């Protein structure tokens, strides 16, 4: 910035400057304000971020009526009461309520309510501890941080550069969650979480969905049986699934009307809309990283307290999607709590505790990341998969349970309940390394698994955590029985190291 521009800019100093006011930025702002630090929060779009308006919240609002109807149809006596399809208009209206009509007044008031200052505009790093903001009023404002700058700008959809992509005007997660019309035919490219959730939602809302998956299966980062069972559920709902196929070109003359997809197997497909759910890229290409010697557009490498590595002074923190640890809102908020505590400690002159499971170390990003996909059936997991555990050198034993055949609570929940659970036990320590569930309503089981994995609870001790009868959580009893814990000749220690 020129000397004249610097002189003309409004300049303010705060203890902490947060760039990005999504859930992650809000959390670190709240944590540092609670430590008595002055905070400025910069946001160029809506306060509340992607999660509140175009991802977690609206997608679950759209999915809920679809899953509710599906659950009712699984229970005799209830299925007879379901006489028609999901009313898309009602689902859209409910979604609109949850995103407050894409207005952020309430969330902006929350920022003011914690005592932070909200600066609306595009914030860019402008050298060490400085953020230059082009405000929404056309002004230039320079914010200086005494202690820390926390960047939580999130990620954006990865769209492939193939012929016809611009004229095709593909949907991303934003259009898939804010549309008020149901496309008769929707092609979804991808096989991960966004793809399977949106396939569930839009098939249930009335689209004929075709899912195009480059790999051989769905949800490739989870246990293989998860993708297989989700594929069966989607197919039973009417979704057309084609695996091992890629889109090589798109055509939509004039940018209107149907879009034609050219496939690498020589075939073609016509749809009314196409949704790309093929991964995410960091929103770091235009936040001034070059001003501090970092590469624009890159994921940011951080230490245990989420401080960016390689910068003198340890003043820059990268939280949420942009550090590429786990692109999940709850993990970003966890990181923000860790970083906020670290910033507060350093500002008070205290040393950081970054030992394993210490208050300033985001250890769960490695050992105990929970994730849920709200497709039908639901799929969720925490910790490692069997393949990941073996690659990491653990000596593991996998224990599997069929929920429908062995858990009375599951059988009561739905006629012909289909689901599966797996726990991975480290045979050298007798502790859980990972747990996976797939089936209707399993998402509410996940936190018990997360506590067990994060707490490194010996499997034998879990025998004394008694599940209520008749609930689906009895799966824990079935898993422990299958492993041999608690009974005569049980192979698991019950106690400390």
All CATH 3.30.390.30 domain ranges of the chain, comma separated, are 377-483
Cα separation, 399 vs 484, whole angstroms: 10
Three-state DSSP class for 170? coil
All CATH 3.50.50.60 domain ranges of the chain, comma separated, are 3-48+104-156+282-364, 165-278
Structure confidence at residue 485 (pLDDT): 67
Q: Which of 70, 379, 468 is nearest to 238 (CA)?
A: 70
The DSSP bridge partners found for residue 134 are 122, 140
CB 492 within 8 A of CB 483: yes
The string of pLDDT tens digits covering residues 205-247 is: 999 999 999 999 999 999 999 999 999 999 999 999 999 999 9
Cα separation, 40 vs 144, whole angstroms: 10
Instruction: Give Cα 104 distance to the centre of its chain.
Output: 21
Sign of the C-alpha dihedral computed for residues 87, 176, 274 and 71 taken in this order: negative
The 8-class DSSP code of residue 354 comes to -
State whether CATH 3.40.50.620 applies to domain 377-483.
no
- Peptide bond before residue 406 is cis, with ω within 30 degrees of 0: no
**What global pTM score does this model have?**
0.93
Q: Which fold has domain 3-48+104-156+282-364?
A: FAD/NAD(P)-binding domain (3.50.50)
Instruction: Give Cα 95 distance to the centre of its chain.
Output: 19
Structure confidence at residue 353 (pLDDT): 87
Structure confidence at residue 9 (pLDDT): 62
pLDDT in tens, the chain (497 residues): 455 455 456 679 999 999 999 999 999 999 999 999 999 999 999 999 999 999 999 999 999 999 999 999 999 999 999 999 999 999 999 999 999 999 999 999 999 999 999 999 999 999 999 999 999 888 999 999 999 999 999 999 999 999 999 999 999 999 999 999 999 999 999 999 999 999 999 999 999 999 999 999 999 999 999 999 999 999 999 999 999 999 999 999 998 999 999 999 999 999 999 999 999 999 999 999 999 999 999 999 999 999 999 999 999 999 999 999 999 999 999 999 999 999 999 999 999 888 877 889 898 888 999 999 999 999 999 999 999 999 999 999 999 999 999 999 999 999 999 999 999 999 999 999 999 999 999 999 999 999 999 999 999 999 999 999 999 999 999 999 999 965 433 333 333 33
Cα separation, 10 vs 267, whole angstroms: 58
Mapping DSSP onto H, E and C, the string for 101-116 reads HHCCHHHHHHHHHCCC
Per the structure block, which two tokens stand in for 362?
């985001």
Which residue do the tokens 């028609």 mark?
84
Identify the helix (H) or strand (E) that includes residue 208.
strand 208-213
Report residue 361: phi and psi, to 5°.
Answer: -130, 125
Three-state DSSP class for 68? helix
Structure confidence at residue 486 (pLDDT): 57
- Quick one: CATH architecture of 165-278? 3-Layer(bba) Sandwich (3.50)
Structure confidence at residue 356 (pLDDT): 75
């Amino acid at each position: 910035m020129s000397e004249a521009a610097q002189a003309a800019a409004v300049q303010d100093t705060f203890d902490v400057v947060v760039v990005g006011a999504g859930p992650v930025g809000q959390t670190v702002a709240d944590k540092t304000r609670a430590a008595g630090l002055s905070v400025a929060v910069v946001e160029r779009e809506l306060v509340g971020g992607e999660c509140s308006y175009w991802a977690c919240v609206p997608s679950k609002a759209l999915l809920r009526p679809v899953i509710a109807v599906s659950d009712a149809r699984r229970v005799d006596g209830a299925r007879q009461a379901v006489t028609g399809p999901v009313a898309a208009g009602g689902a859209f209206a409910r979604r609109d309520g949850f995103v407050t009509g894409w207005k952020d007044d309430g969330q902006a008031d929350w920022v003011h309510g914690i005592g932070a200052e909200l600066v609306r505009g595009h914030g860019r790093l402008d050298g060490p501890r400085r953020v230059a903001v082009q405000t929404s009023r056309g002004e230039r404002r320079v914010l200086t941080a005494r202690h820390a700058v926390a960047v939580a700008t999130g990620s954006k959809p990865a769209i492939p550069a193939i012929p016809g992509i611009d004229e095709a005007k593909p949907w991303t997660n934003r259009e898939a969650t804010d549309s008020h019309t149901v496309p008769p035919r929707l092609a979804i490219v991808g096989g991960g979480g966004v793809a399977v959730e949106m396939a569930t939602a839009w098939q249930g809302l009335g689209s004929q969905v075709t899912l195009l998956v480059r790999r051989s299966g769905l949800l490739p980062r989870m246990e293989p049986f998860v993708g297989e069972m989700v594929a069966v559920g989607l197919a039973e709902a009417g979704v057309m699934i084609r695996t091992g196929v890629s889109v090589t070109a798109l055509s939509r003359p004039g940018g209107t009307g149907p879009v034609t997809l050219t496939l690498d197997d020589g075939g073609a497909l016509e749809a009314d809309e196409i949704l790309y759910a093929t991964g995410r890229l960091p929103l770091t290409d235009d936040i001034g990283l070059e001003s501090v010697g970092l590469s624009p557009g890159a994921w940011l490498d951080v230490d245990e307290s989420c401080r960016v590595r390689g910068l003198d002074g340890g003043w820059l923190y990268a939280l949420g999607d942009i550090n590429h640890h786990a692109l999940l809102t709850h993990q970003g908020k966890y990181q923000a709590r860790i970083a906020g505590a670290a910033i507060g400690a350093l500002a008070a002159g205290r040393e950081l505790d970054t030992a394993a499971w210490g208050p300033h170390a985001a250890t769960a990003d490695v050992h105990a990341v929970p994730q849920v996909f709200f497709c039908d059936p639901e799929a969720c997991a925490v910790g490692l998969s069997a393949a990941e555990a073996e690659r990491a050198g653990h000596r593991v034993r996998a224990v599997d349970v069929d929920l429908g055949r062995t858990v009375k609570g599951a059988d009561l929940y739905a006629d012909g309940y289909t689901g599966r659970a797996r726990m991975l036990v480290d045979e050298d320590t007798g502790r859980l390394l990972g747990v996976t569930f797939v089936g209707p309503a399993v998402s509410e089981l996940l936190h018990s698994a997360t506590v067990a994995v994060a707490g490194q609870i010996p499997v034998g001790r879990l025998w004394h955590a008694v599940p209520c009868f008749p609930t689906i959580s009895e799966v824990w009893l079935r898993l422990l029985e299958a492993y041999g814990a608690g009974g005569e000749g049980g192979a698991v220690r019950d106690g400390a190291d």
